[in-house]
Amino acid sequence: MTQPKIKDIKVIFTEPDNIRLVAVKLITDQDGLYGVGCATFTQRPLPVANAIKEYLRPFLIGRKVTDIEDIWQSCYVSSYWRNGPVLNNALSGIDQALWDIKGKMANMPVYDLLGGKSREVAAVYVHASGETTEEVGDKMQAFMEQGFHHIRVQTSTPGYSTYGNKTAKSGIDTKSNRDVSKGPLPITSWIRDYDEDKIYAHPGGIFEPKPYLRSALNLFEYIRDRFGYGVEILHDVHERIPPILGVWFAKEVEKYQLFFLEDLFCPEDNEYFRMVRAQCATPLAMGELYSSPHEIIPMIKDRLIDFIRIHISDMGGITPCRKIAAMGELFTNVLDISLLYPENRRHPMMAMLSGQMTKIIIDVKVTPVPELQQSSSRSEAEFRSYFQHWLNTLWQEKDTRINTLLER
């Protein structure tokens, strides 16, 4: 069977709900066989489109669509300077389209090509934001009644600009906004309807870290008082506070047991994650600000974050992201390997050296490591006991499994 080749690559702009998206359509030389991918770089769509049209398209015409890994590697290094968001977004669209084609050729969904489903369902979160803590709480209540268990929360900071809260009003004369003595009237980066009869401290609004941090802590306190700890809450800092305040904030929110705290620092300040790790056990999420697979490697290797939140369209596509996911697995699981010699139990090494080894059983098990970070709810002695119990249980299960294998 002749392998299909790349005949043409088209870039498609679309903007649903005012969100600028860049789609890639990769057309093969076989009738009706094509793939689509996402190359969205919302803030800079035109350079991405140009990179695809002027550089990747002529570079890839005539290549076999099945050579996904080779295409990715050659595109990645062909520009000499690499790892920028423009090239990696462009490459993401190409890579996803190639995987789409391979799935169609195999008549399988792409996740089956990558090893199949690892779970039947996955937890998702929704976003609850509001002008006041009570409004956020009411929205949380509604989401919980719909069955949601993970909710990301954000509230306005009275008197200041608010980021991440699309419901925040702009210059509206409400009870929470009326007292301008506490700071500038609230303006958001989302809404720019100004009242001409009012004087604003800054036409674009002012964001102040400390008032924001206080309002966030008040929100977490309110949520735990109202709902307890049976619901998971998430929060995104949007890397908009000084790093040293980020360290302080991570310590302060530990008692509220967030599911994760997201984008605490910008990528230029990754070393501050080490300070947080040394002082508290607040789960940390990071990744959507990265544009290169190599930026995330030290964060995983040094266990500086707990959740990898990356956009496939930023990282270069499915090809690099599945490698990142595999690396993350290695740092959250124990690879338990047992070598058994059922017919040479007494002197297996001598049997191996003399060529008399007749049978070898290799048993491999991937075991998740549960909560190795000390939780704030446990004392040091309780944590040591908890960890030792987990380790003892692991060895007991291993002994049982070995005995079962040897008896076969």
pLDDT tens per residue across span 209-219: 888 999 999 99
**308 inside domain:** no
What is the predicted pLDDT for the residue at 285? 93
Pick from 354, 299, 355, 353: which is nearest to 327 by CA? 299
Say how far residue 29 (Cα) sits from the centre of its chain.
36
- Both 260 and 138 in one domain: the answer is yes
Does the reported pTM lie above 0.85?
A: no
Task: Evaluate the CA torsion angle 69, 74, 77, 79 in order and state its sign.
Answer: negative
Determine which one of 127, 150, 238, 386 is catalytic: 238
Tokens of 48: 């991405």
Catalytic residue flag (residue 222):
no
Residue 139's pLDDT band (boundaries 50, 70, 90)? Answer: very high
**Rounded distance, CA 308 to CA 297, Å?**
10
Determine which one of 163, 256, 272, 341 is catalytic: 163
On the question of pLDDT at 189 being above 50, the answer is no
What is the predicted pLDDT for the residue at 18? 76
- Both 97 and 147 in one domain: the answer is no
Percent of the chain with pLDDT over 90: 42
What's 256's DSSP letter?
G
- Both 273 and 361 in one domain: the answer is no
**10 inside domain:** yes
Catalytic residue flag (residue 150):
no
The residues with which 12 forms a beta bridge, in sequence order, are 23
- Both 150 and 246 in one domain: the answer is yes
**357 inside domain:** yes
- Both 37 and 164 in one domain: the answer is no
Residue 390, SS3 per DSSP:
helix
- Both 273 and 166 in one domain: the answer is yes
**204 inside domain:** yes
- Both 139 and 99 in one domain: the answer is no
- Both 76 and 213 in one domain: the answer is no
- Both 235 and 344 in one domain: the answer is no
Look at the chain and report how many structural domains it folds into: 3
With a CB cutoff of 8 Å and minimum separation 6, the contacts of 285 are: 234, 260, 261, 262, 263, 305, 306, 307, 308, 309
What is the predicted pLDDT for the residue at 49? 92
**261 inside domain:** yes
pLDDT tens per residue across span 3-61: 899 999 999 998 887 778 899 999 999 999 999 999 988 888 899 999 999 999 999 99
Residue-number span of the structural domain to which 228 is assigned:
125-286
Pick from 171, 177, 178: which is nearest to 196 by CA? 171
Residue 226's pLDDT band (boundaries 50, 70, 90)? Answer: very high
With a CB cutoff of 8 Å and minimum separation 6, the contacts of 289 are: 239, 263, 266, 267
- Both 253 and 175 in one domain: the answer is yes
**324 inside domain:** no
**Which tops the pLDDT comparison, 408 or 52?**
52
**Rounded distance, CA 363 to CA 343, Å?**
16
**306 inside domain:** no
140: domain CATH number is 3.20.20.120
- Both 215 and 256 in one domain: the answer is yes
pLDDT tens per residue across span 170-182: 334 444 444 433 4
**Rounded distance, CA 378 to CA 388, Å?**
14
